[in-house]
Amino acid sequence: MGKTIGYGVLGLGVGKSHVAAAVKTDGVGFVAICDTNEERLHQIGDEYGIAAENRFTSFESMLTRPDIDIVSICTPSGTHGALTVQALRAGKHVMTEKPLEIRLDRIDEMIRVAREENRYLGCIFQNRLAPANWKVKQTIESGRLGKPITCNFELKWYRTNSYYEASGGWRGTWAMDGGGAMMNQTVHTVDLMQWFMGPVRSVFAKAGTFNHRIETEDTACAVVTFESGAIGTLIGTTCAYPGLDITARIHGSTGSIGLRNNRIELFKLAGDEEWKEEADVLARFGPNADSAAGGEGPVRKQGHAGQIQDMVDAVRENRPPLIQGQDGRAAVEIILAIYESARTGKEVFLPL
C-alpha cells in the first residue's frame, strides 16, 4: 500500500463525524482539525487525542502543512466552493460535505480546479455505501427489475425553529444553505433517486414554508421524469412531527423494491423463486438484519467511515474516489431545477 496520509478537517460541527472516522481510518498517520471556535476546537481535540500542533484556528495555516494530504470541508454549504478551491490550489485532495455547493457555477469551478491541480474531489453521500442500497443498485443494473416505470422517494423529518436558529442561523437561508428541506436534508435522497433511476429529464414542483421562521422552503414535492421515460414523485419536508422515515419504492416491468431507512422491506422479482429470494434478501438486508451484514458494498466500512476510508485508499492507490464531485453536482442540479419549477410554476428541463 502507499504512503501514510495526513488528514485535515475544517469545521467541527458535522465535521466531528469526519474526525471520528479519520482517526480510525487505515493508512491515516495523523488528523489535523481547524475551527474558529477555540472552545469547540480544543474540546474535540481532547476527545480524539489530537496533538496541540495539529489544532488550527486558521485554515490558511493548516493548508501550509505539506504533510496534510486530504482535507474535509465541513463548513456551511455556501462556503464550500471557495474553501475547496483554496485547498485544491494548496495541493490538497478534498472531501466536501453535502451538498457539494449550492450553485452550479461554483461546483463547475471546483471540478475544473481539481482537474487542473490533478487532485481528487469527493462528496459525502454515505448512503450509497449501505449494503441494502448497494444490493438495490446491483439488482437494477442487472436488468432483473425490467423496464423502469415509476418510483416514490420521501424524506419526512421534523426540525424545530431552534434547529434553524442554532450555529449563527445559517440553515434555512438562501445565501449559506442554498435552500431548505430539499437542499439540506433531502439531498441524500435525491442522490439515491438519480443513482437508482438514472438521469433526470425534467421536474415539476411545488414548495412552501409552512411551519418555520426561515426564508427557504420547509416542504417541497416534485413530479420527476427520467431520461429512461420513467416517472416518479419526490417529497422532502422538515414538518413531519415527530420525525418519520426515509422511504423509497421502485417499480419496474418485472419487479418492485421497497426501502425504509436504508433497509430493504420489499423485494419482489418475477421468477419461479420469487418468494424464496425475497425471504433471503430480507434476512440479509431487511429491518432486522445486522447493519453490517449482507456481503454487499464497495468498501468494508459504512457511513462517513467508509467514504473517508475510500478517499484515503484512493489517494494511496492513485485512483479516483467512489463518489466524486460530478456525483455531487448531479444532485444539486436536480434540486435547483425543483426550486426553479416551484418559483415559476412551470416544468423545468435538465440540464440547467
- Distance of alpha carbon 108 from the chain centroid: 18
pLDDT tens per residue across all 352 residues of the chain: 578 999 999 999 999 999 999 999 999 999 999 999 999 999 999 999 999 999 999 999 999 999 999 999 999 999 999 999 999 999 999 999 999 999 999 999 999 999 999 999 999 999 999 999 999 999 999 999 999 999 999 999 999 999 999 999 999 999 999 999 999 999 999 999 999 999 999 999 999 999 999 999 999 999 999 999 999 999 999 999 999 999 999 999 999 999 999 999 999 999 878 889 999 999 999 999 876 555 567 787 889 999 999 999 999 999 999 999 999 999 999 999 999 999 999 999 999 9
Fold classification of 127-296+333-344 (topology level):
Dihydrodipicolinate Reductase; domain 2 (3.30.360)
- Matching residue, cell 445486522: 290
The domains of the chain are located at: 5-125+301-322, 127-296+333-344
Nearest to 37 by CA among 15, 66, 63: 15
For domain 5-125+301-322, the CATH architecture is 3-Layer(aba) Sandwich (3.40)
Q: Name the amino acid, one letter, at 69.
A: D
Distances (CA, A) of 272 to 258, 269, 275, 277: 20, 9, 8, 9
